[in-house]
Chain A
Amino acid sequence: MARRGSSERTKDRIAAAVIRCGGGLVVLLVAVMVLGITLSALPLFLRARLAPPSIAATGEATLAVGFPERSGRPWSLDARGVVREASGAILARLPEVAVPLRAAVHEPGGLQAALDASGLLTVGRVRAGRAADAPGWQPLTTPLALDPEVAWLGLAVAAGGDDDELAVLVWSAARTAAWSWREGAWSELALPPGGARAAALAEGLATAALVRPDGALELVRLPDGRPEELGLPPVDVALVCFLDGGRSLLAASDDGALALLQAQRRVEVRNGTSRSLRLRGVVVEPGARLVVPDDGVGRTLAHRDEVEIAPAASQWRVVRRPRALGARPIALAAADRSRGFAVAGADGSLAVYNATTGSRRVATMWPIAPLSALAMAPRGTAVAGLGPSGIAFAGLDDPHSEVSLRTLLLPRIYEGYARPRLVWQTSGGDDSFERKLSVTPLILGTLKATAYAMLVAVPLALLAAVYVSQLAPPRLQAVVKPAVELMAAVPSVVVGFLAALWLAPRLEAFLLPALMSLVALPAVVLLALLGWRVLPPAFRRRTSAGIELGLVAAAAAAVLAVVWWVAGPLERLLFGGDLTRWLFAEWGLRYDQRNALVVGVALGFAVIPVIFTVAEDACSSVPRSLTHAARALGATRWQAATRMVLPAASPGLFAAVFLGFGRAVGETMIVLMASGNTALTGLGPFDGMRTMAAAIAVEIPEAAIGTTHYRVLFVTGLLLFAFSFAITTAAGAVGRALRSRYARF
């Protein structure tokens, strides 16, 4: 017996331990969840890591350095025309070199150009490859003979839009010249006269940048050589370099200041109307022509025939000023696919930046100085600097350089945009597409959807809760409460499906009657009140209190019938038979079929049961004795409900609204199906939105693990998570605070 007892005791102890573990496991699970999501998001905000540089000694007079595609180890080109790997192995020899080279350059994209002492310019590419196919020099053009008497300072080469099209640019203190290679022949390009201290050619050959000897920046449109407009250009420029496939220009000034310039597309607007046009702060008088930034102007004015819009010359202007370098810049390099660029200073400093954020990712002292050339690997995974004693190169681990808290949250000027914008656009046509990862549009979309849902749900749910708990007869309670429970159980995908495929097309077709019905709701109450007055008093006394529901239903039916009868003729009379078309023509308001109204109703449907259940509970748990006392003192049912029950139940009502809010913010399927899913920032009732939850649901399956996009989505997930925690905690806290305040009831 004693043994049995002790074994029972052991079992009891073990069971207690297991059960405690069960409790602990739930805590652990939540911790793992927080941790898992945080760890997936966190690497976005890690600092860039530059590996310790390795130094490769090179032979005499190395002129250029560059990276092959997909490699972290640089090549170099020396004055004798030998291309070497960092290990010293010879990869290729330039055949035409008879005399030592004077200058050479390795451009992103693998193009190399070399100018020898006799003035012969060669352009080609080192064929990288496996051991099997022999690497070597692949000339792309015939040699171009330049004037050997001119002391050329430098040369630039860039590829054109077509495969075999390219151009070179050379400059000296006294003159600049450019040639384009096309269909097997060189032809000189027109450039304005004058010398340069630095210059650059844009990939795609649309633009050349010239820095005059006095440090003035000049941009030239190719091939016609016309100067492009420059708004507030940087001064005392020392070096220039094109980024992002020629769409942005980096200018480094003598004092170390950096500026990123971008071309802004502009349009000429001719106002043919008799009114003055207001375009985002610019006024175009009647009959006038004005060149304005192409900031979606064409889209907003498309419906007005009297306004003419024609493309105009683009303007370059400074969009970002990255943090200045501490010294005079002596070399620039760009990574052509990651939007990274590197700047080296005369004091041996080296900094790596990202063009999208404008932020400095790395600042370090380079082991060899002064540098004569700088290169960055195509995907920004390595940097190499060429100094007098050799090449120093280092791997750079910075996969998420395009994201910072500022880009995530604040408006940015993106490529081709006229002004700072909040944009969520994760994929585009080609490699050089600039991803726009601002989560603010998603947050705004979420708040918008939630706001519309709350506008629908809060009044309905709270009023219904008051009615059911305080005013309705028990028989009605027994119907409404299970009905709302049923409502809570309806899967959100069902609500979303009906909203998208049933409600949305009907709302579009019957917009006016729907809006009129909304406005006519007070009329329903008034009509029901009148109905109550005309009922014989005897009937009023005999019927139970539930009669108001019947009265309201009858009044609602009557009002609806009138509204629908009136709406058709009214729409024909006032809006030419189609309200949505009229809205677009007169106000420029676009009506999306899946819009905030639809989302409001559908999401409201999902939120109502949450709010109703908690609120009804709160109202019902107010002691009956309070209401009875009030009624005994002569208060009407309404007075007892509003003056006694509502204050006492207010903590519960607040908690109910909070919980409803939390539910609306996190709801995925309804907004995914009914909102149209465009990441707009407008708050109007007729356009859609994209919420955080919907963005996650749609995009995570496409985002590969570990990519920037994937991690940004986890940031939004983390936001949702934190938000729901805050809401739940706040609901609890508000409930407790108010409960203690109304404890005297």
Chain B
Amino acid sequence: MPDSEPRVLPRPPLLAHGGAGVLTTALATLLVLLMLAVLLWVVAANAAVWFWPAPVWELELADGSRVVGEIVRREPARDGGLGPLLLKVGNRELGGDDHLAVDEAAIIVRRRPQDAVAIERSVGGEALGRFLSCRSLEGEAVPPGDDQALAAALAAAAAERRALRRERARHARVRRPLTEAEHAFERLRRSSAADAHDLADAERAAATLREQLRPRLETLEAAIRERERRLAGAAVILDTGAVSLEVGMATVERLTWSNRLGPLQRALHAAGSALRFLFSAPREANTEGGVFPALFGTVLMVLLMSVAVMPLGVLAAVYLHEYAGDGPLQWVADRAIHNLAGVPSIVFGMFGLAFFVYGVGGAVDRSLFADELPSPTFGTGGILWASLTLAVLTIPVVVVATREGLQAVPSSWREGARALGANRLQTLLQIVLPAALPGILTGLILAISRAAGEVAPLMLTGAVKLAPALPVDGEPPFLHLHRKFMHLSFHVYDVSMQSPNIEAAKPMAFASTLLLLVLVVVVNLTAILVRRRVRAAYRVLEG
């Protein structure tokens, strides 16, 4: 499609002058952009749907039955016709499956009842239905329509739940010395080297402690039982269309009048959902709740990795750009980093497993944690090994970006500094490195982005679907480097591929994916901006 075509020929032959070629390249560009756009749109649309409260429909079907649920989507259908509607009906305890496909032709009446509620529960997934009545902690029935009484009953139940949680924690705290004594006794009993005297001592110590703590523990246990009893009596009663369902208040996390929300309330609800998603722990095999442990694990792992990779990467880059001549070491180091960049991430994972976990970790266990063996402490995957593995993986990223930063520092600056009598170290520390800082930062940012999105090496070195405890807590030494951890990318993999109930897991998977994408995109945009600003600055300097 020449733009320099001679004017005497207003209509050139159809395929002349490479018009088709230009359009083909344009088509390829379009397709590439389209792929990206589709990916972003699918993730964003699906994730947003989850946060945004959906209306609850009551459908009357041709066979006379009623169903209450949220319409998820229309299933894809063959030959251009309409597929069945996929309805989320929740109430897993009733039929097992919380989704239902409804043929649209079978629907006689559809309405959005004002008294429909969606209850988010800590166990058993969502409960959906029309509100019938409610039984408060005191066992009094709250009639429908008395919203204030209902709110009060819910608030009282929530307070009771919080109190129960506090008391359980207190019970565990009081009991901890006893638990530890019992644990010590168990360990002694299992080890072959223990002599009978020590064993008896340990047993006696545990028994004494048990006697000492008994009165306090019994009081606490009684209080816990009382609260549990009160909570067990309280319930919200729903009409699910087929039966009336009692939803115990002990499990109610949030009750939403889905069909009464105005636009602002909806937005607030969505914001609340987003916050809960970010800051609460996962439930129901990771398909509900939040991603806080995964987010925390990702951040901590990235921090540890940065601590390991930055000094090494910057040193290597400084060596290659500032110190190395044309010696063999320079050539080897250059080739090594070049090739390291192309090594598949799973190979780093294998290396981490064989070297860090089994090699170093095994040696640490044998020398420092010998009395815990055969159960491994450091000889199994953990956050330290995962961080170190990713540090090795991101070395080329840091080196390349740092070198770029060093190259951007005009050589006249170095020469000037040396001419003024500074030695190489002084030149490096006071002139070159400060000027190359944006490059180093870019390297760090890109390494972080890479580490946040990586899964394969983590699967082998310590990321798990559900970690019992965060790697940081109030117990000394506060940072537990041997613990397994959750990671956002691994969480996406786990939720999307390893959930038994894929329909229930999808919203969670999409939301986690969106969060991951947003994180990675923000981090990368930062890197792009930093780099662009630096380039502009040096263009001015050199010009």
Contact = CB atoms under 8 A, between A and B. Distances in A.
Nearest to B80: A568
Interface residues of B, number: 104
A474 interface: no
B332 interface: yes
Contact of B42 (A485, A502, A724): A502
A36 B359 contact: yes
Given A32-B355, A605-B35, A728 B79 contact: no
Contacts of B330: 23
Interface in B148-187: none
Given A491-B520, A571-B79, A667-B344, A638 B18 contact: yes
A29 B340 CA distance: 10
Interface stretch (B139-147, B319-327, B366-374): B319-327
B3 A541 contact: yes
Given A20-B323, A532-B1, A577-B78, A552 B344 contact: no
Contacts of B194: none
A509 B76 contact: yes
A480 B18 CA distance: 22
Interface in A42-74: none
Given A468-B29, A493-B453, A510-B76, A724 B347 contact: yes
Interface string A500-514: 111001100110000
Contacts of B43: 494, 498
A447 to B, nearest CB: 14
Contacts of A553: 30
Given A500-B496, A642-B18, A608 B338 contact: no
Contacts of A463: 24-25, 27-29
A291 interface: no
Nearest to B454: A491
Contacts of A526: 20
Interface in B502-523: 502, 506, 509, 513, 516-517, 520-521, 523
B459 A701 contact: yes
Given A36-B351, A532-B1, A483 B36 contact: yes
Contact of A492 (B351, B425, B455): B455
A428 interface: no
Interface stretch (B9-17, B53-61, B239-247): B9-17
Nearest to B492: A493
B345 A498 contact: no
Nearest to B14: A529
A16 B324 CA distance: 10
Interface in A528-558: 528-530, 532-533, 537, 540-541, 545, 548-549, 551-553, 556
B424 interface: yes
A638 B332 contact: no
Contacts of B536: none
Contact of A548 (B26, B315, B453, B460): B26
Name A's interface SS: helix
B479 interface: no
Given A23-B319, A36-B355, A638-B21, A494 B516 contact: yes
Given A483-B36, A577-B78, A668-B344, A714 B354 contact: yes
B interface, by DSSP: helix, strand, loop or mixed?
A: helix
Nearest to A22: B315
A490 B520 CA distance: 7
Contacts of B28: 459-464, 467
A637 B39 contact: no
Contacts of A494: 39, 43, 453, 492, 513, 516-517
Contact of B342 (A21, A505, A714, A724): A724
Contacts of B428: 15
A566 B361 CA distance: 62
Interface stretch (A125-133, A255-263, A387-395, A692-700): A692-700
A650 to B, nearest CB: 16
A615 to B, nearest CB: 12
A529 B329 contact: no
A642 B425 CA distance: 50
B401 to A, nearest CB: 14
Interface stretch (A6-14, A241-249, A294-302, A372-380): A6-14
A581 to B, nearest CB: 10
A167 interface: no
Interface in B419-469: 423-426, 428, 449, 452-456, 459-460
B65 interface: no
Given A463-B25, A495-B39, A637-B2, A40 B332 contact: no
A597 interface: no
A527 to B, nearest CB: 9
B129 interface: no
B133 interface: no
B21 A490 contact: no
B43 to A, nearest CB: 7
A700 B528 contact: no
A427 B39 CA distance: 37
Contacts of A484: 32, 36
Nearest to B39: A498
Interface stretch (A85-93, A228-236, A337-345, A658-666): A658-666
Contacts of A713: 350
A25 B19 contact: no
Given A23-B324, A37-B351, A492-B455, A697 B346 contact: yes
A666 B346 contact: yes
Given A12-B423, A16-B424, A549 B455 contact: no
A381 B490 CA distance: 41
Interface in B305-339: 311-312, 314-316, 318-320, 322-324, 329-330, 332-333, 336-339
B343 A721 contact: yes
B502 A728 contact: no
A487 interface: yes
Chain B CB within 10 A, most for which of A9, A461, A472, A498 = A498
Interface centre among A8, A459, A526, A668 (most CB of B within 10 A): A668
A464 B460 contact: no
B30 A486 contact: no
A501 B502 contact: yes
A700 B425 contact: no
A497 B341 CA distance: 25
A485 B528 contact: yes
A479 to B, nearest CB: 8
A639 interface: yes
Given A8-B423, A486-B521, A732-B338, A549 B26 contact: yes
Contacts of A569: 79-80
B449 A489 contact: yes
A425 interface: no
Given A20-B329, A23-B323, 6 more contacts: A15-B425, A19-B322, A459-B28, A483-B36, A659-B342, A700-B350
Interface of A: 8-9, 11-12, 15-16, 18-27, 29-30, 32-33, 36-37, 39-40, 459-464, 466-468, 471-472, 480, 482-487, 489-498, 500-502, 505-506, 509-510, 521, 524-526, 528-530, 532-533, 537, 540-541, 545, 548-549, 551-553, 556, 568-569, 571-572, 577-578, 601, 605, 608, 612, 631, 634, 636-639, 642, 659, 662-663, 665-669, 672-673, 693, 696-697, 700-701, 705, 713-714, 717, 720-721, 724-725, 727-729, 732
| Nearest 9 pairs of A and B residues by beta carbon | A666-B344, A638-B18, A22-B315, A491-B453, A23-B319, A463-B28, A467-B25, A568-B80, A668-B456
13 contacts: A15-B424, A19-B323, A20-B329, A22-B314, A27-B336, A468-B29, A472-B29, A497-B493, A500-B496, A668-B344, A669-B456, A696-B346, A724-B343
Interface of B: 1-4, 10-11, 14-15, 17-33, 35-36, 39, 42-43, 76-80, 311-312, 314-316, 318-320, 322-324, 329-330, 332-333, 336-351, 353-355, 358-359, 392, 395, 399, 423-426, 428, 449, 452-456, 459-460, 489-490, 492-493, 496-497, 502, 506, 509, 513, 516-517, 520-521, 523-524, 528
